[in-house]
Amino acid sequence: MIDEIKMIADRVREMRDILEIDVAEMAEKIGVSVEQYLQYENAEDDIPVGKLYLMASEFGVDPTVLLSGQTPRMEDYTVVRGGKGVTVERYAGYRFTSLAFNFKNRDMEPMIVSLLPSDEQPELVTHAGQEFNYVLEGKVAVTIGKKTHVLEAGDSIYFNPALPHGQHAVDAPAKFLTVINE
């Protein structure tokens, strides 16, 4: 987990350096303090997916470049075999696997998110676009603003991710499909 976070942070710092973007300017563009931004670049804090997408947009690259260090290559279609997506562990108990990482110029980001139960509530995040979650296994508590919805396998929720939101497993490990359009 720590190695993945460090590699992503290194790629972010390298892109910012190559493009000669000042730290303060980048922090402002993604809506965080300079201190928080430096924590992201120094791998002292994990970069939320929404912020990673903002960074990729500012750098003019696909988010896959920051996540994996590779550029998407497919234009007409891409196949991702089971267990072969690009997997990133955002923090202990929260891991996502990108299912379309190799498709150029995609409008959506489909991912499988695996959650382990935790006593700590997840940090609520925001990002642009729209988000869809479909529970595959277990129970997932989805908090949107001040309201929490507990979803079970087969349940889904579609929402505006500009509202503070987060997901966590209830009682046992859980897995859900999320599709984010930014």
Same fold, 2-68 and 86-181: no
The full set of domain ranges for the chain reads: 2-68, 86-181
Cα 93 to Cα 16, 55, 83, distances in angstroms: 29, 24, 18
- Digit-by-digit pLDDT tens for the chain (182 residues) are 467 788 999 999 999 999 999 999 999 999 999 999 999 999 888 888 778 888 998 999 988 899 888 888 888 999 999 988 888 777 778 888 989 988 988 889 999 999 999 878 788 888 889 999 999 999 999 999 999 999 999 999 999 999 999 999 999 999 999 999 97
Enumerate residues 6+ apart whose C-beta is below 8 A from 31.
51, 54
Domain boundaries 2-68, corresponding CATH code: 1.10.260.40
Q: What pLDDT was estimated at residue 120? A: 80
Cα 111 to Cα 22, 79, 85, 144, distances in angstroms: 31, 14, 9, 19
Cα 136 to Cα 84, 95, 104, 119, 177, distances in angstroms: 18, 15, 27, 22, 7
Q: What pLDDT was estimated at residue 1? A: 47
Cα 116 to Cα 55, 108, 136, 167, distances in angstroms: 28, 25, 14, 11
Q: What pLDDT was estimated at residue 2? A: 64
Asked whether 84 and 73 are in contact (CB, 8 A), the reply is: no
Asked whether 146 and 157 are in contact (CB, 8 A), the reply is: no
DSSP per residue, 13-47: HHHHHHTT--HHHHHHHHT--HHHHHHHHTTSSPP
Asked whether 72 and 144 are in contact (CB, 8 A), the reply is: no
The CATH architecture of the domain made up of 86-181 is Sandwich (2.60)
